[in-house]
Amino acid sequence: MGRLSEAYWRQRSEESMMTKKVIWVTALVLTAGAWSARALPEVSNVAMQQITGTRTMQITYTLSEDAIITLGIETNGVALPDKVITFLSGDVCKKVDAGPRTIQWDAGADWDGNLDATARAVVTAWPTNNPPDVIVFDVTDGSGAASYPVYYYTSLEALPYGGVQNFIYKCDRLVMKKIPRGSFTMGWLDIGVRQMTISKDFYMGVYEVTQGHWYRVRGTIPDGIVADYQTRMVRPVTKVSYDHLRGSTSQNVDWPTTESYINPVDQPFLSRLRDKTGFGMIDLPTDAQWEYACRAGTRTTFNSGDFASTAGGTVNEWLNPLGRYQYNGGWVGGVTLPDYATCPPSQATHIVGSYAPNAWGLYDMHGNVLEWCRDWHQTVIPPNDTDPTGPTTGSARVQRGGDWYWTAENCRSGYRGSATPSSVSGSCGFRVMMNVE
């Protein structure tokens, strides 16, 4: 009995060892396969030196795969703020091909009057399917350009020329900010709310698209628009229909469903932007994406997160710092409407970015102009859902955010308006969003 038992346990032990070996070999093979298959861009040989007699630093590195490159600088192991690493040239802030590469940083312009013996360059390679937080489309070259340069930054503070408030970003460059995936409560309490999940990060325009952006991309500006000559380029574009942006089923130019339009003049704004930037996922936000981005984690009436805020009354102390609406300059009821062609920013639409941003850095989510969304409008409250896209048919498209002509009530985070896709209004514009595959 004792010998049998010993043989039995020896056999069990050998079987166990064999099983363990098989498991380890399998796991190692899978691990090695995964390591080689992931093909992440890798950076090596990073070196920095000051160019003699100048205040410019030269950074060299080697890149294994095409990637998006950003640069950080540390001194004494502490990162310098993004806003002092902006005068960059060379192979940085854009998609860079594999190989040996060079960056130049004008440290004298960015970080004047310093002497440090522990400066360190930090080069980051981002996979093209996982870009950094800020993407910028440079539309300066206008409607005739074959393509638009695309730049990448780790934050809004890293934008050159003093940051996002520079008019260059309100006219010549479109700035997109990454919105992190998550769940939120959509709607408002006295009407009804639903739990929605946005399952993927996406990018949202920091500003409403301005007349300057529109002119650069389309080469024209819609007639009868709200703005005076001095400021029109940095105020939101209006008098654009949903069909101008995404194509029209009724006119048989149903882009992007069919990828067709009659001729380049009729090419919808978003289609043109896709073609010239190479980003095939540029679009309008869905209804849920818009509200998620507007709220930026808040559940309050407006996106400031102030639990005391309400939307009632005329002049609204909570909305005043957040956006242009009827009672903070938009239009004083009972008085003649402002002259659309000449009114300054003290009336009607304001220059984008003139009010406080939300927690994710988006401006004018309340007021200024209504913003077209992708969904067909529905009168019933949609069910709890993940990445909802609305009904498959309808007669009107969703508009969000309220506008300069409306009261605070209609500018709240949960308010939803609508209009027929072909309609235009002096109080409705749009904001661009983008998925990254």
The site string for another protein over 121-160 (x = CB under 8 A, - otherwise) reads: xxxxxxx-xx-x----------------------------
Per-residue DSSP letter, 248? B
In this structure, how many other beta carbons lie within 10 angstroms of the beta carbon of residue 192? 12
| Chain position carrying tokens 């020896």 | 10
Closer by beta carbon to another protein, 124 or else 420: 124
Chosen residue from 7, 40, 332, 359 binding another protein by CB under 8 A: 40
Using a 10 angstrom Cβ sphere, with 0-12 exposed, 13-18 middle and 19 or more buried, the burial of residue 217 is: buried
Site pattern 42..81 for another protein (x: CB under 8 A): xxx-xxxxx-xxxx-x-x-x-----x------xx------
Binding flag, residue 435, another protein (CB under 8 A): no
* Nearest distance, CB of residue 14 and another protein, angstroms: 11
- Residue 36: C-alpha distances to residues 24, 28, 112, 167, 287 (Å): 18, 12, 44, 45, 40
Q: What's the rounded Cα separation, in Å, for the pair 435 and 13?
A: 54
Interaction of residue 94 with another protein, rule CB under 8 A: no
Measured between alpha carbons, how far is residue 174 from residues 90, 137, 290 in Å? 21, 5, 18
Neighbours of 411 (CB within 10 A): 29
Shortest Å, Cβ 72 to another protein: 8
Smaller CB distance to another protein: residue 133 or 403?
133
* 117 contacts: CB under 8 Å, gap ≥ 6: none
d(CA 151, CA 156): 12
Tell the residue number behind the tokens 């440079």, with chain if given. Answer: 138
Q: How far is the CB of 289 from another protein (least distance, A)?
A: 22
Site string for another protein, 100-119 (x = CB under 8 A): -------xx--xxxxxxxxx
**Using rule CB under 8 A, residue 206 touches another protein:** no
Q: Among 37, 146, 308, 380, which residue sits at the site for another protein (rule: CB under 8 A)?
A: 37
Instruction: Give the binding site for another protein (CB under 8 A).
Output: 12, 16, 19-20, 23-24, 26-28, 30-31, 34-35, 37-38, 40-44, 46-50, 52-55, 57, 59, 61, 67, 74-75, 107-108, 111-127, 129-130, 132
